């Protein structure tokens, strides 16, 4: 497990992972995947609650999620219906706000397509005992990708290197979307408003977490390319990430130079 804390924040020393847990799963045309992933999640962590945030999927994903919620006698499945596809970041922020209005102590990001194995989640939550954000990482020792097209892996690795150089962060997989947040950290980092919506949303939140002085750690996971459905990645999403991360990098480096010259 890699510790990526850039500055110290006081953390309690609980006897176990924070609880209760909410897993936020955004969906758009994931009808064939959502039941499988939630079933695997509850087989692994029976007590975890799930919030499916559906962006008006035309394939009926939202209706399937409603049926799952109605049939779950333990009331662990919840569904948020949004009227349009507004981007991954917007869906997660809506889910996060829903969680923070309730008593969840740990809030998890997980994709619906099976690329994030629910079986890895107990390790992420255990690492949250003494940290504020845990990232399921493909690029720390023990992490790996399975059945991913080489061009996608090259794009992902390049994006991580670009972010590390631009903003000076030491997180090896800052673009990763499998994460567990402590309630207190998530509440603080989204207070100022988050406008990034695509590929750079994960970079944005991790960077905010580091800047706020919270402790970030990475644990290895196995990332598996989806078997059903198609990827939502697009050229616009990549362009947004390049431009925003570059902007944050310039601002960060300018701040560093200002501090350096003010000391002299």
CATH code of the domain in which 156 resides:
3.90.550.10
Q: State pLDDT tens for residues 78-120.
A: 999 998 777 889 999 999 999 999 999 999 999 999 999 999 9
* pLDDT bucket at 261, cuts 50 / 70 / 90: low
Which pLDDT does position 49 carry in this prediction? 98
38: number of CA atoms within 13 Å, CB side?
Answer: 28
The Cα 116–Cα 178 span in angstroms is 6
CB 127 within 8 A of CB 217: yes
Across the range 181-185, mean pLDDT stands at 97
Q: Which of the four pLDDT bands, split at 50, 70 and 90, describes residue 178?
A: very high
Q: Which pTM was predicted?
A: 0.84
Tens digits of residue pLDDT in 12-38: 444 689 999 999 999 999 999 999 999
Q: Choose the weakest-confidence range: 26-30, 146-150, 187-191, 237-241.
A: 237-241
DSSP-H helix ranges across 45-173: 61-71, 88-100, 121-127, 150-167
What is the span of the domain harbouring residue 28? 2-263
Mean pLDDT of 47-51: 98
7 neighbors 33 (Cβ within 8 angstroms): no
Q: What is the mean pLDDT of residues 55-78?
A: 97
Closest to 223 in 3D by CA, of 138, 126, 109, 107: 138
So what's the pLDDT on residue 252?
54
Cis? peptide before 241, omega within 30° of 0: no
Alpha-carbon distance of 40 to 38, in angstroms, equals 5
The mean of the pLDDT values for the chain is 86
Q: What mean pLDDT comes out for the span 123-148?
A: 96
Which DSSP state fits 53? Answer: E
Q: What does the pLDDT average to over 54-75?
A: 97
Decide if pLDDT at 43 tops 90.
yes
Q: Which residue has the higher pLDDT, 176 or 240?
A: 176
In contact, 256 and 213? CB cutoff 8 Å: no
Please tell me the predicted confidence (pLDDT) of residue 11. Answer: 42
User: For 212-260, what is each residue's pLDDT tens digit?
Assistant: 999 999 999 999 987 665 554 444 555 655 666 666 565 655 554 556 5
pLDDT at residue number 168? 83
How much is the average pLDDT of 133-144?
A: 97
Beta carbons of 34 and 65 less than 8 angstroms apart? yes
Q: Could you tell me which residue, 211 or 9, shows the higher pLDDT? A: 211
Average pLDDT over residues 160-189: 92
> Do the Cβ atoms of 182 and 106 come closer than 8 Å?
yes
- pLDDT of 68 strictly over 90: yes
Number of domains in the chain: 1
């Amino acid at each position: 497990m890699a510790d990526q804390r850039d500055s110290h924040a006081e953390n309690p020393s609980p006897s176990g992972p924070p609880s209760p847990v909410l897993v936020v799963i955004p969906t758009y045309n994931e009808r064939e995947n959502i039941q499988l992933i939630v079933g695997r999640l509850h087989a692994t962590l029976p007590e975890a609650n799930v919030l499916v945030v559906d962006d008006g999927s035309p394939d009926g994903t939202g209706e399937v999620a409603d049926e799952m919620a109605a049939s779950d006698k333990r009331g662990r499945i919840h569904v948020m219906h949004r009227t349009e596809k507004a981007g991954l970041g917007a869906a997660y922020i809506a889910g996060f706000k829903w969680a923070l209005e309730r008593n969840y102590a740990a809030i998890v990001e997980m994709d619906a397509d099976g690329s994030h194995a629910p079986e890895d989640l107990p390790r992420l939550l255990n690492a949250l005992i003494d940290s504020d954000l845990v990232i399921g990482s493909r690029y720390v020792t023990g992490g790996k990708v399975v059945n991913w097209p080489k061009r996608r892996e090259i794009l992902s690795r390049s994006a991580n290197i670009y972010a590390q150089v631009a903003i000076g962060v030491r997180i090896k997989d800052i673009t990763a979307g499998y994460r567990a947040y402590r309630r207190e950290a998530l509440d603080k980092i989204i207070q100022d408003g988050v406008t990034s919506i695509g590929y750079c949303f994960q970079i944005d939140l991790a960077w905010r977490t580091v800047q706020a002085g919270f402790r970030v750690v990475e644990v290895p996971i196995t990332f598996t390319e989806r078997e059903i459905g198609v990827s939502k990645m697009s050229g616009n999403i990549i362009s947004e990430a390049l431009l925003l991360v570059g902007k944050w990098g310039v601002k960060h480096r300018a701040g560093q130079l200002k501090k350096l010259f003010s000391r002299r």
